[in-house]
Amino acid sequence: MRSTKPRMPAWFSKKPKIAQPGSPETEPSRMEGLWVKCDECNEILYRAELEKVFNVCPHCNHHMAWPARQRLLATVDPGTFEEMDRELEPLDPLGFVDNKKYRDRVKSTRKAIGENDAFLSGLGKIEGAPVSLGAFVFEFMGGSMGSVVGEKVTRVFERAHDLRCPAILFSASGGARMQEGIFSLMQMAKTSAAIARFREIRRPFISVLLHPTTGGVAASFSWLGDVIFAEPKALIGFAGPRVIEQTIRQKLPEGFQRSEFLLEHGMIDGIVQRKDLRAKLAQVVKLLS
């Protein structure tokens, strides 16, 4: 005689228990985030020690990602950085939707990383000399350039023009932000025009190319610096190597589009280790101002 007792579902068909906010299941471990694995040599590094050397692996010299806000604070004299234009936030002019609404993507990204968009800017001093500077936040949608990013970059040069001081930009971007369509592409011309006006005061624009600097950002203001530096092994170019190879159906040279290749071919003025960059910027600002 068949039992009428209901069968228990197999373990793999059970719905997982979802922990509620504040429950022990969602409490972060005390050890979470204390260690970092180097992408280049696979060494396990203690985060606190890594931050002391500007997120550069002490074993292989691999330059890891470094948050834009920390970069700017480390570049200028202590206590001199004044952030500008933080209130600017991207809109959704096209009502863009792919697998997620653009406005929702921006909202969730802003909440996750604590920045309003993919660019930080402000004023500061380097060894007492005033500078107008900005840096891309690559964690915000790949550092893509939309209307707000273009406006903030433009204002870096406008402030430098008004204060008659040097301008410094740290670029790390995947290019124009596709969710804003033609509005994002317009920023290439807008930022380049701002540089043309800035040149009237004959102060230097120092462009620092980080990994990666590509697309519309590479095709506009980032290559227009009076002095162009790059970090070691940074990928720099308009289209990615795979896209180029598929287009021209040829194998590219070893290291193509890396900062070392560009320096060898006269495309940039120097490769600077992260620990030496502040001193190098101070030297250029002093010489050219």
pLDDT at 32 (0 to 100): 53
pLDDT bracket for residue 33 (50, 70, 90) = confident
What value does the mean pLDDT of the chain take?
Answer: 90
Question: 3-class SS at 246?
Answer: helix
What CA–CA distance (Å, rounded) separates 124 from 23? 43
How many residues would you count in the chain? Answer: 289
Average pLDDT of span 187-208: 98
What CA–CA distance (Å, rounded) separates 197 from 217? 19
pLDDT at 209 (0 to 100): 98
Q: What is the pLDDT of residues 108-120, one digit of tens each?
A: 999 999 999 999 9
pLDDT at 21 (0 to 100): 37
- 221 against 28, higher pLDDT: 221
What CA–CA distance (Å, rounded) separates 99 from 62? 34
| Structural domains of the chain, ranges and CATH numbers in brackets | 30-64 (no CATH), 65-288 (3.90.226.10)
Secondary structure element (H or E) that encloses residue 236, with its range: strand 236-237
Q: Inform me whether the pLDDT recorded for 14 exceeds 50.
A: no
How far CA 196 is from CA of 7, 60, 187, in Å, comes to: 76, 40, 14
pLDDT at 31 (0 to 100): 41
